[in-house]
Structure 1
Amino acid sequence: MRRTAETPADRQKRVWDKSAPRYDKQIAFFEKLIGGGREWLTSRARGRVLEVAVGTGRNLPHYPAETPVTGIELSPGMVAIARRRAADIGRDFDLLEGDAEHLPFGDASFDTVVCALSLCTIPDPAAAIGEMRRVLVPGGRLLLLDHIGSSWPLIRAAQWLVERFTIATAGEHFTRRQLPLVQAAGFQIVETERLRAGTAERIHAVKPA
């Protein structure tokens, strides 16, 4: 009997389910390098918020109390941790399992879409950004934070070498850059900032009205 080939989404689900119990400890060091990134994102969120690839919910404590947030995440293991985090802080978030490349929401459903440290692992980031645009209202905000290819050649070369392992094992890219994809999707750029030798980038963009 032939086994069905594993899709990229299935692989990512398997990888992140396996790493979910260790994720918070692993990501904590990187977050120190880009200090304030989660606060930067959540302070700019307005209206109905969708967080794509919400992971273990590390952004959740930073949203203003009155902000309605829906989170979607491919990994059931990650969603379970995010739900526990929401319960621990006494907040009511709608946290769902789903695929960033096929968002289960209607057109123009949200005022803000947030995605943090995740487009580096989503198999088709252009498709995911297209879906983010679709579910945003005209004039809606797109807020992104991710690690990207460094602007320093030696560091970028080291990132490329690391990718030879991480892409094969976990679908993790270090030399991607999301800004050109956001521009190609028709967003208007409001602000961008590259940090730490250009290895991380924050993007605030809007869907044209």
Structure 2
Amino acid sequence: MTATPNETAKVLRAWEKSAPSYDKQIAFFEKVWFGGARQWLGTRAQGRILEVAIGTGLNLPHYPADATITGIELSPAMLAIAERRAADLGRDVELHTGDAQALPFPDEAFDTVVCALSLCTIPDPAAAIGEMKRVLVPGGQLLLVDHIASTWPPIRAAQWLLERLTIRAAGEHFTRRQLPLVRAAGYDIVEAERLKAGTVERVAARKPRND
């Protein structure tokens, strides 16, 4: 489903509003829900890295010291925090304001594309995953971490009820799953792991060399 401008604008408003408190809010969930996810990404990312929806830059401390990092983020308020974090870390990071569904980068520009806890809110995740593939070199890797629909029916039912509110308010989905979209886009799956009653998924995939 192609995203409408209104859907993208709703997500932008939500992130602009939550930017000042985001790091404090996510800290709790990282302890109980997403523990180890950023380290998982950092140990696999390499080369020229693009982080899509970089947010406040919480992944920056985990990337290899010799990596070249580019980040793109819809929300200028979130990006401003990422810029300060990069400066505090002494990391030279190229940051852009932009839309994951239409990346402003040339074809085959990156060795690794990372997207963490963000495809749940991007209005057209299939388009974003397609764009990530476009900017990857042949053989380049895609690394995703996100919350998804649980494998346990009672939790999945609660997620469905919760997103009746969150989709309307901020465009956030709890019953999406990105792995089928990655497969449909033609990536080769390298790793796929579900955690926390199936509500969190980590995916490592590669763009085929003969694509």
TM class by shorter chain equals over 0.9
Instruction: Please list, as runs of the form range in 1=range in 2, the aligned pairs for 1:189-208 lying within 5 A after superposition.
Output: 189-208=189-208
- CA distance in 1 between counterparts of 2:95 and 2:27 reads 22
Given the alignment of the two structures, is residue 92 of structure 1 paired with residue 86 of structure 2, yes or no?
Answer: no
Partner of 1:142: 142
TM-score, with length taken from structure 1: 0.96
1:175 Cα deviation from its structure 2 partner: 0.4
Preserved CA contact (<8 Å) 2:46 2:64: no
- CA distance in 2 between counterparts of 1:151 and 1:90 reads 41
- CA distance in 1 between counterparts of 2:46 and 2:22 reads 28
1:6 Cα deviation from its structure 2 partner: 5.7
1:181 Cα deviation from its structure 2 partner: 0.1
One-letter identity of the residue aligned with 2:111? D
Given the alignment of the two structures, is residue 168 of structure 1 paired with residue 168 of structure 2, yes or no?
Answer: yes
- CA distance in 2 between counterparts of 1:10 and 1:164 reads 19
SS at match of 2:143: strand
What is the total number of aligned residue pairs between the two structures? 205
Where does structure 1 differ by over 6 angstroms across 4 or more consecutive aligned residues? Answer: none
Where structure 2 has 5 or more consecutive residues not aligned to the other structure, the ranges are none
Partner of 1:126: 126
Preserved CA contact (<8 Å) 2:47 2:66: no
1:129 Cα deviation from its structure 2 partner: 0.2
- CA distance in 1 between counterparts of 2:135 and 2:28 reads 32
SS at match of 1:131: helix
After superposition, give the CA deviation of every residue in 1:1-60 in whole Å (9 maximum; x if it has no partner): xxxx96211221111011100111111111112211001011101210000000000000
Partner of 1:30: 29
- CA distance in 1 between counterparts of 2:128 and 2:5 reads 20
Q: CA RMSD in A?
A: 1.0
- CA distance in 2 between counterparts of 1:193 and 1:30 reads 19
Preserved CA contact (<8 Å) 2:55 2:73: yes
- CA distance in 2 between counterparts of 1:192 and 1:27 reads 23
One-letter identity of the residue aligned with 2:29? F
**Structure 2 vs 1, CA of residues 57 and 208 (structure 1 numbering), >3 Å: closer, same or farther?**
same
Q: Identity of aligned pairs, percent?
A: 71
SS at match of 1:177: coil
- CA distance in 2 between counterparts of 1:34 and 1:10 reads 27
- CA distance in 2 between counterparts of 1:102 and 1:11 reads 17
Instruction: Please list, as runs of the form range in 1=range in 2, the aligned pairs for 1:34-49 lying within 5 A after superposition.
Output: 34-49=34-49
Partner of 2:20: 21
- CA distance in 2 between counterparts of 1:202 and 1:19 reads 25
After superposition, give the CA deviation of every residue in 1:154-199 in whole Å (9 maximum; x if it has no partner): 0000000000000000000000000000000000000111000000
Instruction: Please list, as runs of the form range in 1=range in 2, the aligned pairs for 1:177-188 lying within 5 A after superposition.
Output: 177-188=177-188
- CA distance in 1 between counterparts of 2:159 and 2:198 reads 12
One-letter identity of the residue aligned with 2:50? L
SS at match of 2:104: coil
- CA distance in 1 between counterparts of 2:125 and 2:5 reads 19
After superposition, give the CA deviation of every residue in 1:112-146 in whole Å (9 maximum; x if it has no partner): 00000000000000000000000000000000000
